[in-house]
Amino acid sequence: MTTKTIKTILFASLMVAMILPFSAMSMADAAPNENAKKRSAEIKGQLFIKDSRDIGGVFSEYNQLNKVLNDETTSQSAKDNAVTRMQEIREQPTPELMPTEKRDTIRGQIDSTSAVIEQLEKAGVPVVLIGTDHENQSLRIGVDREGLTNDKLYVVEERIRSVIGNDIDLTIELSDETILLGCNQQGDCEPVQGGVKVTPFGYTSCSVGYRATFNSEEGFITAGHCTSGNTGVDVGNPTGWWWDKVGEVTHNSFAAYTWCDCAFVKATDESISSKIFDNITLSGTKFPDMYSWIHQEGFVTQGAIGGITDNYVVKQIEGVWVYGIVETTAYAIGGDSGGTVYEETWGSGTPKFMGIITAGPSNGGSPSYYTPYYSIENEFSGITFG
């Protein structure tokens, strides 16, 4: 764990995301498959309705306990009890994973995104996410909640099933706008470490991902959207009113449809540390296993912990479709983009690098999304980290 004061904000729905009963959505009191008047008898697959704002389960409890620890008015005995309970939560076993065959079936449906998007656009319903509901073992389609009435949910299901068929289980998730996390806030760090603030000249500020070597050049990885996909942009580390150049964007993969929201910044005038703020050492890389803990280090949140809720998501973000990103319950806010995502080990062993922060809710919060390390490796062939 870092020695600095960590502002850990854990948002849950990691293992037990709460399913909205239809009654909670002002609908008739009915189980998902009982409303025969609304749903065709030909539909065999179950329908689940979720809300991306819902949090629940032990990870919500963990978040509340963390607030207790950071409250100056809390008694020492209450803090001791909170620490004990937080340790119990961390030691709980991982939920049973989805069978491989079913997971692969859903993954195949995820890759049919263009047809689903086209069908829902005809119904006037923007798609913002396509992924997996691991709790219910179903295909997850996130749609913009704005203007989505109860009756229209069944139209949405019909449109989706015209592509995926009537047998597969489906989760429709009511979602909010998600933004790419650029921001203007001041910071200072020398040498440059992962998770600290950098500002591309002419663009809003983002965060350093991780030191890397690409095409025999040393530098670091950050989010490609931080310079709108452009290269040849100078990048600086703000030091109060002064702007200290640390590198130049030489490669950028960000586009309207991308598998990697990533850019390589060639180091110039300042050294780039292999450590993550503050002085955290990483070793190796780690695949985004379901329900595993992660630590996000962006210069705004400065230490957000959460868990992986979906490890393969196709997400629409500000008009851009990003493929293969990972959804977590970690808090993120403007300015965190490009920051480091690594394994949360709770102080036991050396954590592994997992990726860089990509996006989060427009007003900050959870869920947030990151680009996994292997997408960076695939985009920048031969790149090495650390």
For residue 60, report the phi and psi dihedrals to the nearest 5 degrees: -65, -40
Q: In this predicted structure, which of 14-18, 51-55, 259-263 has the lowest mean pLDDT?
A: 14-18
What integer pLDDT is reported at residue 24 of this predicted model? 27
**Which pTM was predicted?**
0.71
Q: Each residue of 234-252: pLDDT tens digit?
A: 998 765 445 678 899 999 9
Distance between CA atoms of 357 and 83, rounded to whole angstroms?
A: 28
Q: Band of the pLDDT at 27, cuts 50, 70, 90? A: very low
H helices of the chain, in order, are 57-70, 76-90, 100-110, 113-122, 150-164, 373-379
Report yes or no: 249 and 232 within 8 Å, Cβ to Cβ: yes
Hey, what are 106's tokens? Answer: 């859903």
Q: Each residue of 145-175: pLDDT tens digit?
A: 876 777 778 788 888 888 888 888 999 888 8
Evaluate if residue 26 carries a pLDDT over 50: no
Distance between CA atoms of 344 and 360, rounded to whole angstroms?
A: 19
Tell me the mean pLDDT in the region 44-57.
Answer: 76
Higher pLDDT: 208 or 92? It is 208
* Residues listed for the chain: 386
Evaluate if residue 313 carries a pLDDT over 80: yes
Distance between CA atoms of 45 and 55, rounded to whole angstroms?
A: 25
Q: Band of the pLDDT at 299, cuts 50, 70, 90? A: confident
What structural domains and CATH numbers belong to the chain?
1-16+177-386 (2.40.10.10), 22-53+95-175 (no CATH)
